[in-house]
Structure 1
């Protein structure tokens, strides 16, 4: 009877410790949505290391040719272009500048897309191109999701607009052991890394400054305590078995 009670107690303890509380895994369960603070507007701000594709169009096709230079490779033996020409890209340097054809150096780091388009139009019209149409796209717009998610990795975002929830969806959602209340977002602002903490259980996420991610943002999900302990135990299982075997052998020898 005593043995049965002990076994029952062990089973109950295991059941309690192994169950994950619903309040720790359910999204959007806390706080009301503050509609007045929810905004669907998002502006891309260009940063150093962004690789931009800039296309200039106009009615007079000849006038825009110098500003749409193709990027080509040349054979070392014949000095001829090889492969299919592609749109030239412009890398924003550490000081926020690009070197644009004819115009020269332009400082666009810290500017939004519309501010950059306005700057280029003012530089081109009317001296070089009349009434130009300018399109700008970030060629290397990526976000990274790491930690306790199903598919960690770096993802290219073609439309340059993604929320933290969409990023988590790309990564296959959090594992059941991922901590929903302390999801971290790391973002570079003015050359310095800044950390934001997000609680996926709260509706306040919709008014967070990192609800819309920016290029090169890093999302990290911590594993919960039990997951960390399990990982440590699994790594040391062989060691525990060896120690246990030695202790059993010593006890057997000493008790003869």
Structure 2
């Protein structure tokens, strides 16, 4: 083999050895494949009502008039008798920036910071003087998570069950592509007026105990791409010029060091 061809092969091996690295595409790859594992569920936290949440609040009791009144209905007395005709209005309650909803008869009620169970108890206490033994149901109407980045189908997803894990959210988005960084998934969350950003390593089983394994309303999941994908996506000629210059510099350095050590 002549010297020029040998040099080219050596350069290719040199550059390849530094540019390629083994990637782990397996979720929870540190789990024992035979013994498995069990984890107590300690990371799940119930979602709390926040500003800008949209709540559905329904009241049920033995009094139909009260039901219609507190379910945002309009009560119209019928002529000639004591019965009523009700025209229900499908209305949800927006939590304002100060954490209040504007509820019929009662007016302003602060629900920000409450779980659904705590909010139900508060509503029952407030309605007790108007309705006997009310049954109140509260639901989030805008419980959604957003998955973006290196996934098959980036989108925002409304979650009717109000319970979802990061794995389920990735499943809704069609899972990560082969270029997604499984060891560095970013979760962006807003809570109590503070926005936080935390990273999860989905190659590691310890993520199952993370407080971010279960998602909260309005969480954003960002899957970062590997550099190889970024290079592929960049059509800027300057990028290729920089890569070419880098390879040229690597060749020159390699040849100089080779000549030094082979003299």
Unpaired runs of at least 5, structure 1: 72-83, 241-256
Task: Give the equivalent residue in structure 1 for 2:22.
Answer: 21
TM-score by length of 1: 0.78
DSSP-derived class of the 1:30 partner: coil
Q: Indicate conservation of the 8 Å contact 2:53/2:142, yes or no.
A: yes
Written as runs of structure 1 = structure 2, the 5 A alignment for 1:1-256 is 1-2=1-2, 5=6, 21-22=22-23, 24-30=24-30, 35=38, 37-39=40-42, 41-70=44-73, 86-125=89-128, 127-232=129-234, 234-236=235-237
Q: Indicate conservation of the 8 Å contact 2:180/2:223, yes or no.
A: yes
For residue 21 of structure 1, report the CA deviation from its aligned partner: 2.2
Q: Indicate conservation of the 8 Å contact 1:34/1:204, yes or no.
A: no
Q: Indicate conservation of the 8 Å contact 2:54/2:92, yes or no.
A: yes
TM-score by length of 2: 0.76
Q: Indicate conservation of the 8 Å contact 1:53/1:87, yes or no.
A: no
Report Cα offsets for 1:34-68 as digits up to 9, x if no partner: 84553375412110000011000112222221111
Q: In the superposition, relative to structure 1, how do residues 103 and 85 fare at CA in structure 2: closer, same or farther (>3 Å)?
A: closer
How far, CA to CA, are the matches of 2:19 and 2:163 in structure 1?
A: 39
Q: CA RMSD in A?
A: 3.0
Q: In the superposition, relative to structure 1, how do residues 10 and 231 fare at CA in structure 2: closer, same or farther (>3 Å)?
A: farther
DSSP-derived class of the 1:166 partner: helix
Matched residue count: 227
For residue 30 of structure 1, report the CA deviation from its aligned partner: 2.6
How far, CA to CA, are the matches of 1:213 and 1:86 in structure 2?
A: 32
For residue 180 of structure 1, report the CA deviation from its aligned partner: 1.1
Report Cα offsets for 1:197-253 as digits up to 9, x if no partner: 100001111111111111110111111122222323x3327985xxxxxxxxxxxxx
Unpaired runs of at least 5, structure 2: 75-86, 242-263
Q: Indicate conservation of the 8 Å contact 1:31/1:204, yes or no.
A: no
